[in-house]
A and B are shown apart, each in its own frame.
Chain A
Amino acid sequence: DIQMTQSPSSLSASVGGRVTITCQASQDINNYLNWYQLKPGKAPKLLIYDASNLETGVPSRFSGSGSGTEFSFTISSLQPEDIATYYCQQYDNLLLTFGGGTKVEIK
């Protein structure tokens, strides 16, 4: 099975600051890499699909990049409403696997 290593596990940044999260797959996942936002008590939200495609309605300050085994997720200008935990997720061979999550806080 493919393992997903997500880092860091937590970070803090200033409002307006840039945030970057990385996700490494144990083998090539053909860009089947998605990013989700989780807030307590709310439905999780898909932000980025297929490594770099912005889901409809998601602000353009969110972006994703990468290919093969190395992927990254960026918030270009952190807003207070972006406080959440973010997860990467891969798909391979009829199996979905998530990274360990990154908790984003305001400095």
Chain B
Amino acid sequence: QLQLQESGPGLVKPSETLSLTCTVSGGSISSTSYYWGWIRQPPGKGLEWIGTIYYSGSTYYNPSLKSRVTISVDTSKNQFSLKLSSVTAADTAVYYCARHKGPVEMATLGYWGQGTLVTVSS
């Protein structure tokens, strides 16, 4: 059973960089042609797709966040990571990692982690 678990600091100061890691178990990031993504949900608001990385390293970002986002993959650790720079209070949210549903398709988010709350505050 594929499982994803987000980890990282729960509190980040304004203007600093938010860094989260998603650890994948029950399957290998590098062994199959899947996409891996990050999504967030600010308190009381809806879901927002942040970006996605293909197992080979190609990345796709939400244009509204593209200038501040970097997603990378570490196949040796079976993890992928999110970095969001120059954060403000508006970046306070529950951050989810997910695997897209099928191989070589990016349209659907099939498996999700439980999410981790990141608060931006001094």
Q: Which residues of A contact B (CB under 8 A)?
A: 1, 32, 34, 36, 38, 41-46, 49-50, 55, 87, 89, 91, 94-101
Contact = CB atoms under 8 A, between A and B. Distances in A.
26 contacts: A1-B63, A34-B107, A34-B108, A38-B41, A43-B111, A43-B112, A43-B113, A43-B115, A44-B109, A44-B112, A46-B110, A49-B107, A50-B107, A87-B46, A91-B106, A91-B107, A95-B49, A95-B60, A95-B63, A96-B37, A96-B49, A96-B106, A96-B109, A98-B49, A99-B46, A101-B46
A44 B46 contact: no
Interface in B38-81: 41, 46-49, 52, 60, 62-63
Given A41-B114, A94-B60, A95-B62, A46 B108 contact: yes
Interface residues of B, number: 24
Contacts of B106: 91, 94, 96
Contacts, number: 65
A100 B113 CA distance: 21
Contacts of B48: 98
A7 to B, nearest CB: 13
A32 B107 contact: yes
A34 B41 CA distance: 17
Given A91-B108, A94-B60, A46 B46 contact: no
